[in-house]
Structure 1
């Protein structure tokens, strides 16, 4: 007998919301407030290099190496602007501090048009909702200012969990919070490995959100791939029938 579906777990970034402007534009806007005139294209390229470097050396915000999300991000910002010839340590610290807090503001995030409606539809089916996200401790505030926090019974971030997707351990923590077996839980996210493969490896009903038809994966059945979040509730309804 099939276990009844009871929970839906959600990825957040690029699933429910996205950064409104490019990182290069947002970083340059803050730099301009400090009297600097930099190229968004150059800053974007420097950021990508800094992000890759720090992600490689200090995975998951360096939690196991004594760092946290704030110190990790501030190091990424300092590295980014250092590559762009901003060398004043006090100025680098000020910009990094300001940018870390700026990303808690609603104007820096864009909620996808189908997000709130789909969350409401899932709740109306009697399903409970939780978050499993490779994000830092700012996520709760970001969801709050974007008007989405009230939909969720719990949030698990990789900073809080001490482990990041695609590790099964973060999903195990989520299943404990659900108090339900994997067969009673669905997961929705936009990343083929971190969201789809990782959740399904544990027996969770994983769905891959593919808004721009980027994932040409023969191992993802059509019924597991969504081009819009609005396609999710009917799929979940079938699992419940």
Structure 2
């Protein structure tokens, strides 16, 4: 059964990925603050799209289909696949939902550069918000020691580097004020106002729920500050498990904590590389926030839960 599920998901995921590649080709990003940090996947998606289109063209010509016809067929396959999973799991497509934190569950209430500048004024920061943002992006792209792990424990050394590089100010009091600000309810808000109702409905229906996030150890205080930490069966933080998305380890750890197999879980996140590719490499299903699904209510409905 697990093998049939894996093969079906792989075939369907590949087909859907090909049809969506062109709309993704503007580039990839990981959300830091409220900005999109430009990645290096644009050329990859562009070349993948071209190759996929070239491979698909003879088949479309032979069948006399149009691109809209192909997409209609793929969404028919999606419905058939989800119906198949509901038959397996008693009306549900998945036994567990994994959800990304920043950019999916929560978002910064103000742009990062604005906060860095406002708090930094009393410490002598003179850079404009545009300058801070550009310097921040540069700093985030720099190699971090000999490890790919940026968020280790409380990640203070990393954030000290980011703040001083972004603003030109290395005052320890400034760094600490910024660091603590991003641990409070003032800094964050829930992306979906229906989140509590949806997560309650999912758990009532027997779906286990976990947060899976590239974050330092402040994530738990952030969730407590927003009074939403009790919504989840598990919170899996990269700084604690020493594995950052897209490393499959973090997704496998979440499944282990929830007591489900990876093929029984679906992950929802806003980053194509970290969330979608990482989750699929771990053997989970994955839906892109803002594209595959637009709200948590839609997530629940696709799983088979009315919220």
Shorter-chain TM band: 0.7 to 0.9
Query: For 1:77-121, what per-residue CA distance to the aligned partner results, in whole angstroms no more than 9, with x for missing partners?
Result: 122222xxx4xx5xx221111111110011111211243332223
Establish whether residue 97 from structure 1 lines up as the match of residue 183 from structure 2: no
Equivalents in 2 of 1:176, 1:68: separation in Å? 24
Equivalents in 2 of 1:110, 1:123: separation in Å? 22
Query: For 1:208-237, what per-residue CA distance to the aligned partner results, in whole angstroms no more than 9, with x for missing partners?
Result: 112xx5xxxxxxxxxxx1122221111101
State the secondary structure of the residue aligned to 1:140. helix
Establish whether residue 128 from structure 1 lines up as the match of residue 188 from structure 2: no
Aligned position for 1:233: 300
Q: 2:276 aligns with which of 191, 196, 201?
A: 196
Instruction: Please show how residues 200-211 of structure 1 align to structure 2 within 5 Å.
Output: 200-210=280-290
Shift in alpha-carbon separation, 1:78–1:141, aligned structure 2, 3 A: same
Aligned position for 1:137: 217
Aligned position for 2:160: 74
How far apart are 1:58 and its partner, in Å?
5.0
Q: 2:186 aligns with which of 104, 107, 111?
A: 107
TM-score (norm 2): 0.64
Equivalents in 2 of 1:49, 1:32: separation in Å? 22
Instruction: Return 5+ residue gaps in structure 2 as ranges.
Output: 2-84
Q: 1:176 aligns with which of 235, 238, 256?
A: 256
Indicate if the aligned counterparts of 2:151 and 2:216 stay in contact, CA closer than 8 A: no
- Calculate the aligned-residue CA RMSD, in Å: 2.2
Query: Number of matched residues?
Result: 215
TM-score (norm 1): 0.80
Q: Which structure carries more relative contact order (alpha carbon 8 Å, separation 6+)?
A: 1
Instruction: Return 5+ residue gaps in structure 1 as ranges.
Output: 214-224
Deviates most, 131-140 or 187-196 = 187-196
Establish whether residue 20 from structure 1 lines up as the match of residue 109 from structure 2: yes
Shift in alpha-carbon separation, 1:45–1:203, aligned structure 2, 3 A: same
- Deviating beyond 6 angstroms after TM superposition, the runs of 4 or more aligned structure 1 residues are none
Query: For 1:137-190, what per-residue CA distance to the aligned partner results, in whole angstroms no more than 9, with x for missing partners?
Result: 000011111121110111111111111111111112112112211222221111
State the secondary structure of the residue aligned to 2:275. helix
Establish whether residue 155 from structure 1 lines up as the match of residue 241 from structure 2: no
Aligned position for 2:37: none
State the secondary structure of the residue aligned to 1:21. coil
Aligned position for 2:8: none
Aligned position for 2:98: 9
Which protein shows a greater Rg?
A: 2
Equivalents in 1 of 2:143, 2:111: separation in Å? 19
State the secondary structure of the residue aligned to 1:226. coil
Indicate if the aligned counterparts of 2:154 and 2:218 stay in contact, CA closer than 8 A: no
State the secondary structure of the residue aligned to 1:155. strand
